[in-house]
Amino acid sequence: MSLKRRKSKPASDDGAEPSPRVTIESLRLSAGIVGLFVFVGAAVFGLERLKDRVYDRPEYNPPIQVQLADPPAWVEREGWHKRILSVVKIPEDQQWLDEMLVRRVADQINCSGWVSRVHTVAQRMDGVIRISCDYRRPIAMIQTANGYIPVDRFAVRLPEVYERVEDGTGWMRIVGVETTTPDVGEAFAGDDAVAAVRLASVLFEQDFAQRITAIDVLNFRGRRDKHDNHIKLRTVDGRRIDWGSAIGEEIEEPTVQEKVRTIALYFKKGSPQARIDVSVYRNGWIEPVEPAIHTADGSRSRGR
């Protein structure tokens, strides 16, 4: 009787039961990975809690102050310093180390209308934010239906509206403008406003600027009366100065420099005249009117 030898089947990967050793190692690896994630999460959470506690300390969250870095002298002298800074609003719960703080301050000052360009906004560790800008200097107040609006030499509308501007305050008012009022930070586009601001820019640089209270463009280009002067000036003593046409539109009129010189002489020498016309005589000279002398017979003669 012969016996047949049983052939053994080769081990197959499919359906093979895992080795107990391999299973234990996989579980250990998975547990290690989970443990690592738990450890990292706990560490991050702990660091965030620690950071919050540290940042809540006074030295890491100082009172915030906003300052203008080396502004021109006129900003303080003419009373605009506080007005410019008033546009920056810092919430009471603002965190000093908030990475968006500087950006918010820069955006507020840049959109305020007070500046033409922001150079830097620097955050110091003592709680001070310093702003370096190019500022728009107000030179006149344009009268509108809603009040007086300050403008710079480029006719750009600045913030704030004033109900009235009294004589003697040093501000040149511009009256008679019929153009539409722009938004803050935008320029007046009408020819009457542009011409008035251009003249105001010239007069603003003169020593007698404080004595000019108003620039009247109501009859700009003769739109009300073709026989009357286009632009008139008002003085602090109630006098009227007929300027003439807008700068650059003169026909057979003295130059701007000659008109300015004549006005300067008028203020220097003085004159009893209620009306001065600088639009007519080239190289004009203001001569005071000689006082009348009453004689014994009741007639009048001019003094010599």
Mean pLDDT of 106-128: 93
Provide the 3-class DSSP secondary structure of residue 87.
Answer: coil
Lowest mean pLDDT, pick from 42-56, 94-108, 232-246: 42-56
Looking from the CA of 298 toward its CB, the CA atoms found within 13 Å total 0
Mean pLDDT of 262-268: 91
pTM assigned to the model: 0.71
Phi, psi of 116, rounded to the nearest 5 degrees: -95, -20
Q: What percentage of the chain exceeds 90 in pLDDT?
A: 59
133-143 per-position pLDDT tens digit? 999 999 999 99
247 closest CA partner among 271, 278, 270: 278
- Band the pLDDT of 144: cuts 50, 70, 90: very high
150-188 per-position pLDDT tens digit? 999 999 999 999 999 887 778 999 999 999 999 999 999
Using the 8-state DSSP alphabet, how is residue 143 labeled? E
Given a cut of 80, whether residue 210 has pLDDT beyond it is yes
What pLDDT does residue 295 have?
40
Write the single-letter amino acid at 161: V
Mean pLDDT of 84-107: 91
Q: Dihedral, CA atoms, 233, 235, 239, 245, nearest 10 degrees? A: -10
CA gap 203, 209 in Å, rounded: 6
Domains in the chain (CATH in brackets) are: 60-135 (3.10.20), 140-277 (3.40.50)
